[in-house]
Amino acid sequence: MRKILLGSGLFLLIWWIITALKLIDPFFFPGPKETFIALGRQLASGLFNDILATLLRTLYAFGIAVIVAVPCGLALGKAERFYRSVELIVDFFRSTPATALFPLFLLIFGIGDASKIAAAAFAAFLIVLFNTAYGVIHSKKARVVAAKLHGASRWQIFKWIVVWESLPQTFVGLRNAISLTLTIIIVTEMFVGSDAGLGRQIIDFQIVYNIPAMYAAILMAGLLGYLLNQFLLLAEKRIVHWHGH
């Protein structure tokens, strides 16, 4: 907590110095005071609804990705030869920006939440799939051998060793995926009709040159991403507390 407060204080200090010295035009880069005042006003006038809308879209997309990608990644990692044969395809789509494919999702799902969620879920799915499969493939062989020597069945080895050995790498994928999911949701909220959402607020404030309010919405988007990542870190510490032993 002390490190977090120190880092936050240093960030605010640098921000204040830049605005106090007017190194950037104050109209386009308001100071912390103006931004936090705008944030307070926005929270009082309904920004919570936009935060909730973005959060729900993000969780829907992330949940779909996890439910599909983790079992597929486990199966793919277990069948290593098959994984190697499709690795190029997985890497290709994983390296293709999901926003570049968004017109395709619009054609399939139409203008609405479904296309936003589908695009974000697709991008998150590939990241979780790749990391889960990688974790299975690189699980410690010594523990598998020891289990075989003690008479464990293939299912027991997979369930109690391979799956648990893959979890550290799977959580790496989950943390990367949640950040990417939030990013894609916000971007799609900006440019595709949305009745609510942080992305819509950011672009609306930018259009009318309400710059402090725009920065306030950006801060909330960053804070939301940070909290989601911290939640996954906490879950990882509780579930994978044995990692490294």
158-173 pLDDT, tens per residue? 777 778 888 889 999 9
* Per-residue three-class SS string for the chain: CHHHHHHHHHHHHHHHHHHHCCCCCCCCCCCHHHHHHHHHHHHHCCHHHHHHHHHHHHHHHHHHHHHHHHHHHHHHHHCHHHHHHHHHHHHHHHHCCHHHHHHHHHHHHCCCHHHHHHHHHHHHHHHHHHHHHHHHHCCCHHHHHHHHHCCCCHHHHHHHHHHHHHHHHHHHHHHHHHHHHHHHHHHHHHHCCCCCCHHHHHHHHHHCCCHHHHHHHHHHHHHHHHHHHHHHHHHHHHHCCCCCC
Lowest mean pLDDT segment, chosen from 54-58, 96-100, 135-139: 96-100
pTM over 0.75: yes
CB within 8 Å of 59: residues ≥ 6 apart = none
How far from the centroid of its chain's Cα atoms is residue 124's Cα? 8
Q: What is the pLDDT of residue 196?
A: 83
Q: What is the pLDDT of residue 9?
A: 79
Tell me the pLDDT tens digit for each residue of 17-74.
888 888 888 888 888 888 888 889 888 888 889 999 999 999 999 999 999 999 999 9
